[in-house]
Structure 1
Amino acid sequence: MFSRQGLVAVLIISYTSTIQTANDEDTSKWVQQTFNNATEDDIDLTPTGEKINDLDCITDNSEVGTCVVYYLCDPDTHTIIADGTTLIDMRQRQCISYLDVCCGHKSILPEETLTTTQKQPNTNPHDVIKFQEELHTTPATFNATFSDDKMEKNLHSSVAEHFSSQCGWDVPSLFVFPKNDSAIYANYGEFPWAVALIKKKPTKTWSPNDYLGGGTLIHPSVVLTVAHKVDKINAQKIKIRAGEWDTQTVKEKHQYQEKNVKRILIHPHFFKTSLYFDVALLITESPFDLAAAPHIKPACLGTSLPSPGTECFSMGWGPDFNNEDKYATILKKIQLPLVGSGDCTEKLQQSRLGTYFRIHSSLTCAGGIKGIDTCQGDGGSALVCPIETKNNYTRYVAYGLVAYGIDCGVADRPGVYANIPAALEWINQEMIKQNYGIGTYTA
C-alpha cells in the first residue's frame, strides 16, 4: 500500500481508444501528439503567449480561410466572428495549434457596408415557457418576443445563468471537443472545480517535484484535498491553481487563477499509516474571482455513496503509467465504476494486504479495470459521479478523493479513495467555523 505522490489524475487507455473518441484520424493524431510532448524534465506551466497563427487553410465550405483560435469562428457560417458571440467545437486540423480552426473572412467587412439578415430562432415558445416554469420564473423575466434573435439569446443566457449559480454543473458552452464520456481527456470547462496544488517558487517554472497533487474547489476560498499531501508542509509554501486546462497554452477562452494558501485544516481522526479520514481543507489568502471565471466553480459534495457499479470519473494532469510515465499537458479524465466495501475488501485481500485486511468506513473504492486507474501522483483529485443531465449540462457530485492503491491498473484491484460523505460532518463544521457556510457545495 502506498500514497499517491506527484502529479494529478491520469487516464490509462490504449491508443485505439484515443482514435475512437476523437473526431477523426487527424484529431487523434493531434491529441496523441499533445499528450506525448511532455518530458520528465521541468515543465514550464507559464503561458507561452504564442500568437494566433495566420496561415492559409481551407474551410469546411472549401474556401480559403485563416487559422484562428477556435472560439473566434462561427460554427454555422465558418467565418470569423466579428461581434464576439458564440463558441464552437474544433473541426479542422490544418492549423498548427490544435486549438486553432480554419475560418473564412466573409464576416470581416467594412462597417459601412455590413448588413444583417434576421435569423429565425429555433426556439419553440412552449419550450421557453416550460423552462421558465422549471426555474420558477415568469415570462416577464425574458424581455423579448418569440420572433427575433433576442428571444433565443435571452433564453440561452438565462439557462447558463441558472446552471452557473449552482455547484457541480459542467460548462458545455466552453467545450472544445464534442461531449464524450469515454474520451481520454476532459473538455475545457468539463470539471471546473479541479485545481492543482503547487509549491510556491520565485518563478513560474514548475517541475514534478513542485507539484503536490490535486484538489477540489468547494468555495471561492476553500479547497478540499487529501491530508497526506499537506500534513507535513507549511501553508505559506503552497499555492492553488484553478481554471487550468492545457498547461502549455494561453489559447483557452479564460485564463487560470492562482491563490496562496494561508491555513491548512486536517481532519482530527486522520491516521496516516492507513490513511483513515484522509481529508483536509485549504483556506486561501483571498477568494477566487468566480464572477469573472465561468470555467472555475465549486463542486457539490455527496451526503451518501451511490450504489456499487455507478460510473464515475476522476481527473487530472498526472503521468500515464502505460506510456513511460510521461506527463499529460491537457486535463485528463478516468472513468471508473464504484466498488462496494465488501467486494473491495475481498479483492484487495488477494493482493499483498492479506486476508485480514478490511476497508475502513472512512474510505471507499472504485475501478478495478485493467489498464484504467489512478496511480502515483494522483492524490487529492476528486472522484465525481453524474447525478443529473439537463439542456446538455451534466451535474456531478464528489464522493471521493484519490488516496492509495496496490499497484496501478491491475484487473480486479480497485483504487482506494477518501470517503467524502464519511467526512462531511467535519467539513460542514469547519466551514461554519470559518464563516463560509455550506451552501456553495450543497446540491
Structure 2
Amino acid sequence: MYLINLANGISMRATIITVCLLGVLYNPVRTQIPDNYEKLLEKIFDTNSTLNSIFDTKSTEPEQESNLDSQVRICGLNKECVPRILCNKDGTVKIYGQDLINLRMDNGSPCTYLELCCDVSSKLQQPKAEDVPQRNACGYRNSNGISFKITGAKNNESEFAEFPWIVAIFTKSANKKDYKCGGSILAPNVVLTAAHCVWNLQSASLMVRAGEWDFETTLEPFLHQDARVSEIIRHEDFSLSTIFNDIALVILKTPLTWAPNVQPICLPDAHTTFDNKRCFASGWGQDKFGRNGIYQHILKKIELPIVPHATCQAQLRRTRLSRFFQLDKSFICAGGELGKDTCKGDGGSPLSCPDPNNPGRYLQAGVVSWGVECGVENVPGVYANVAYLRDWIIEKLMTRGIDTKFFTP
C-alpha cells in the first residue's frame, strides 16, 4: 500500500489513505468506482478546508489592483512612504537590483519593506520604464530581481520577477479567492499545471494570477494580472489512482500582457534529458510536510538536482512505497537533499532547468506532482515529465489554433 502526498495542498490522512490507496500505482487492476466517488474524494482530501482563505484577497473579480497605498503615511518633513519604483530622482526604473531590501529588518520606519521614505519633490506619479528589459521571449530568469534585490532571506524567498512565468491558480468562492496551486505561462492565454490540481473543477470556478510575488502586498514594482479561465484540458490518461500523466492546460478568457514580471517559460524538446543538472522549483507552498507546515506569502525557490529515473525508482522503493514500486515514464524526479523540496501547496508549479544549449535560458523540465515526504534525504520529489508529455501539449494547442512560438526557444 502506498502513502503519498499530492503537492497541491491536498491533505492525505494516513488512517484514510491506507484504505483508499490500497495498491495505488503498482496495481494494474482497477476497482469499480463507487457512486459517491466525488464526495468520497472531497472527504478524504479535505479540499474545502485545508487551503481556504490562506491568501484572502479583496475581490472575486479579476482586476488590476493599484500598487499605491490609499493612505498617505508621513515619514518625515515633506516626506512620504511611496513604492520604491516611484522614488527616483532621475525618473527612471532601477532594474538591476541597486536597492537592497532586508526582509527581516525592522528599522522603526512607518514604511513597508517595499517602500522608501521619499522627498515629496522626488515622488513620481508614474515610473519611466525605458530601461526595463522587454525580451518578449521565453525562459529568461531575472536572477537579480527587478528594481530591487532582497537580503536577509531565510525561507528561500525568490527575487521579485525572478521567475516571471510562474502563476497562482485560485478557486473563486463567495467573497474570496482561495489559493489552489501553481502553474506556468506557456502563451498569453495558456497556463500549464498539474492535472490533480484541477481535478473535478470547472473552468468557471478558477482564476489565474500572473506576475505575483508577495501575496500580502500590492506594492511590488509591477502589477500582477488576473484572468478568468475559459477551458481546462486534462490529460486523458490521468487518474487519481495512478497519478500518471499528471498534466493539464488552462486556457484563459483574456490574454496576459507581457511585462517584466509576466513572461513565458520555454518547453524542452521531447528527447531532452536533465539528469544530474541543478534546477529551480518555485511556489507558495508549505515549508514542511504536515500540520506544522506554513504557507509562504513570498514566492520561494529551491535549487534541486535532477535524479536519474533508475536512481529515483530505487530510492523510492526504500520508502513505504515498497520494493515493488515502478516509476512511470511520465514522471521525472528532483531533490533528495535534506531540508530542500517542494511541498504541500506547490502542486502544478514549474521545475525550471537551464537550457543545455543556452544556459542563460530556462526550460520547464517538470510540473510539481507528488512526494512521499518533504525534504527527506535520498527521497526525491516526483514531477510530471514535461519533455515526455510535450507532444500531448503541442497537439492540444495546435487543435485550438494556439501558436507554439511563445514557448519555443
Structure 1 length as normaliser, TM-score? Answer: 0.70
Offset of 1:65 from its aligned partner? 7.1
Indicate how the Cα distance of structure 1 residues 200 and 370 shifts in structure 2: closer, same or farther if over 3 A, else same. Answer: same
- Give the one of 109, 112, 129 matched to 1:97: 112
Contact 2:225 2:256 (C-alpha < 8 Å) held by counterparts: yes
Indicate how the Cα distance of structure 1 residues 180 and 398 shifts in structure 2: closer, same or farther if over 3 A, else same. Answer: farther
Contiguous gaps of at least 5 residues in structure 2: 11-50, 59-64, 124-128
Structure 1 position 424 matched with structure 2 position 390: yes
Offset of 1:66 from its aligned partner? 5.9
Q: How far apart in 2 are the matches of 1:215 and 1:44? A: 19
Could you say what secondary structure the match of 1:174 adopts?
coil
Q: Give 1:34-433 correspondences, 5 Å limit.
A: 42-46=54-58, 49=69, 51=71, 53-56=73-76, 67-74=81-88, 81=89, 83-87=91-95, 88-91=98-101, 94=107, 95=109, 96-103=111-118, 160-161=133-134, 164-171=135-142, 172=144, 174-177=146-149, 184-203=156-175, 205-206=176-177, 210-290=178-258, 293-303=259-269, 304-321=271-288, 324-387=292-355, 394-433=360-399
Q: How far apart in 2 are the matches of 1:389 and 1:67? A: 45
Contact 2:274 2:353 (C-alpha < 8 Å) held by counterparts: no
Contact 1:300 1:397 (C-alpha < 8 Å) held by counterparts: yes
Indicate how the Cα distance of structure 1 residues 438 and 179 shifts in structure 2: closer, same or farther if over 3 A, else same. Answer: farther
Give a deviation string over 1:369-424, Cα, whole Å, max 9, x none: 1111111221100000123899xx94211110001110111110000000000110
Offset of 1:40 from its aligned partner? 8.8
The equivalent residue for 2:402 is 436
Given residue 368 of structure 1, which amino acid in structure 2 is its aligned partner?
G
Q: How far apart in 2 are the matches of 1:51 and 1:192? A: 29
Contact 1:168 1:396 (C-alpha < 8 Å) held by counterparts: yes
Offset of 1:100 from its aligned partner? 2.0
Aligned length: 344
The equivalent residue for 2:14 is none
Indicate how the Cα distance of structure 1 residues 218 and 307 shifts in structure 2: closer, same or farther if over 3 A, else same. Answer: closer
Given residue 167 of structure 1, which amino acid in structure 2 is its aligned partner?
C
Indicate how the Cα distance of structure 1 residues 388 and 421 shifts in structure 2: closer, same or farther if over 3 A, else same. Answer: closer
Structure 2 length as normaliser, TM-score? Answer: 0.75
- Range with greater deviation from structure 2 (311-320 or 321-330): 321-330
Contact 2:145 2:159 (C-alpha < 8 Å) held by counterparts: no
Structure 1 position 6 matched with structure 2 position 21: no
Indicate how the Cα distance of structure 1 residues 180 and 299 shifts in structure 2: closer, same or farther if over 3 A, else same. Answer: farther
Contact 1:56 1:67 (C-alpha < 8 Å) held by counterparts: no
Given residue 253 of structure 1, which amino acid in structure 2 is its aligned partner?
P
Contact 1:195 1:217 (C-alpha < 8 Å) held by counterparts: yes
Given residue 277 of structure 1, which amino acid in structure 2 is its aligned partner?
N
Give a deviation string over 1:54-90, Cα, whole Å, max 9, x none: 3139xxxxxx97654222344xxxxxx2634435423
Indicate how the Cα distance of structure 1 residues 395 and 45 shifts in structure 2: closer, same or farther if over 3 A, else same. Answer: farther
Contact 1:373 1:408 (C-alpha < 8 Å) held by counterparts: yes
Could you say what secondary structure the match of 2:364 adopts?
strand
Offset of 1:268 from its aligned partner? 2.3
Larger helix proportion of the pair: 1
% identical aligned pairs: 32
Contact 1:216 1:225 (C-alpha < 8 Å) held by counterparts: yes
Could you say what secondary structure the match of 2:390 adopts?
helix
Given residue 86 of structure 2, which amino acid in structure 1 is its aligned partner?
L
Could you say what secondary structure the match of 1:371 adopts?
coil
Offset of 1:237 from its aligned partner? 1.0
- Range with greater deviation from structure 2 (169-178 or 182-191): 169-178
Given residue 54 of structure 1, which amino acid in structure 2 is its aligned partner?
I
Give a deviation string over 1:291-311, Cα, whole Å, max 9, x none: xx3211111111244442211
Contact 1:220 1:289 (C-alpha < 8 Å) held by counterparts: yes
Could you say what secondary structure the match of 1:320 adopts?
coil
The equivalent residue for 1:19 is none
Indicate how the Cα distance of structure 1 residues 338 and 53 shifts in structure 2: closer, same or farther if over 3 A, else same. Answer: farther
